[in-house]
Structure formats: structure tokens, C-alpha cells
Amino acid sequence: MSRARTDLTPLARAEREDLADLLESLAPEQWEAPTLCERWRVREVAAHVVSYDDLGRGGFLRALARARFSGERANDACLAPFAELDPEDLVAAVRARTTPAGLTAGFGGRVALVDWIIHQQDLRRPLGLPRTVPAERLRPALDFARFAPPIRAFPRIRGLRLVADDLDWAAGKGPEVRGPGEALLLAMAGRRGVTGELTGPGVPTLAARIDG
């Protein structure tokens, strides 16, 4: 079966289970800590990762229309029902949704896999809780993130060659940007403060696109 058609649901499920384990381990004050998602604390990110599981394409389009086609406002509206849950209930909500559903099930679980890897790192980095993302999850996430509509990576990475130096992955043509696959994924997603971990002649261009 081709890579494009392989069902990655088991990898996404494993990532969500790891995220639930992380959330369950947090102290109360850590739930109020900032994340790489600049407007959200840990609790808002946890709410966000489950907020689209019950929405199909039609439900998402209606939510987007109500938000006057602002992705930011749509995200806030969709997470609102979960945002005031206490940590125990948020962990339970994450555990109850380990299998991708709704929008997250798209593209053979790739939407869920990319989203959940990125958001787990959004939490871990500011909390000082690093991990090594399993290569069998990170490699397909890097492949899909280049084109995934929610990531909007193309304007950031066009004309650049991305090379992971910790696993067998590279993509694109142009000045090279090299570094850990996890940092490349977060840079593709527009996370600030990551390009300092990358090297190569393409880094200034990528950094300017993220900061701009």
C-alpha cells in the first residue's frame, strides 16, 4: 500500500494516549502555564485537542461561518464547552477520544497525528518536559504537515529544503534548513523560538517568515 493511503490511525491513537498520560501527570499550577500557542494556557490547548473530534466537515463549516470565517474565533468557540472543565475531566475527555473522529480522522488519521504531535510539544517545551517523538510517528507527520491546510506551512517553507538530522527525512528544494525533525515540524507550524535550533543558509528566510 502506498504511503499516501496507509491508515495512520494506530499511530495517532498512540500519540493521543501519550498526551493523556502527560496531562494526567501535571500539577495543578502547570495547567495554568503558558504554551507555544501564544493565547492559550495548558488547559486551553487540552480543550482544543478534543474540540473538533465531534465535528464533521459540515459542523466545522458552520462553526467557521458563525465565526465570520476567522479560524482563530472558530477555534475559541469550539473549545469553549471544554475550557472550564477541571483537569480531571479534561484528561477523561482526552482519554475518551483516543481514536481520531470527526475532522481529526481525515486523511487516514494524518490530521490527528500532526495536530496531536504539535500540540503535545506546545505543552512540553514551555513546561520543560522534553521527549523524543517516535520516528515512526514523526516521519509521516513531517510529510503531511507540508501540505495540511490547518498548518499553512507552504508559505513558510516554499523554496527551502528541509533536512532532519535525527531521522531519514528530507523534502523540498532550495537553501537548506537542517535540524531535529521535531523542531522542523514546529517551525512548519509557525511556532516562534524554534529556528534557533536549526542550521543552514535557509534559516534566516524561514525565521523571517515565521516572525513576519
Q: What is the pLDDT along the chain (212 residues), one digit of tens a residue?
A: 334 468 999 999 999 999 999 999 999 999 999 999 988 999 999 998 888 777 656 565 565 566 554 567 767 777 777 878 899 999 999 999 999 888 788 899 999 999 999 999 999 999 999 999 999 999 999 999 999 988 999 999 999 999 999 999 999 999 999 999 999 999 999 999 999 999 999 999 999 999 97
Q: What is the DSSP string of 50-68?
A: HHTTT--HHHHHHHHHHTT
Rg of the Cα trace of the chain? 17
pTM of the model: 0.90
Domains of the chain as residue ranges with CATH: 3-127 (1.20.120.450), 135-211 (3.30.1050)
Closest alpha carbon to 103 in 152, 148, 57: 57
Taking CA atoms, 78 is separated from 66, 119, 158, in Å, by: 11, 16, 31
Task: Please state, in angstroms and rounded to a whole number, the distance separating the CA atoms of residues 147 and 135.
Answer: 19
- Helix and strand numbers (H, E) in the chain are 10, 3
E strand intervals along 50-208:
161-164, 169-171, 176-179
* pLDDT in the model for residue 49: 87
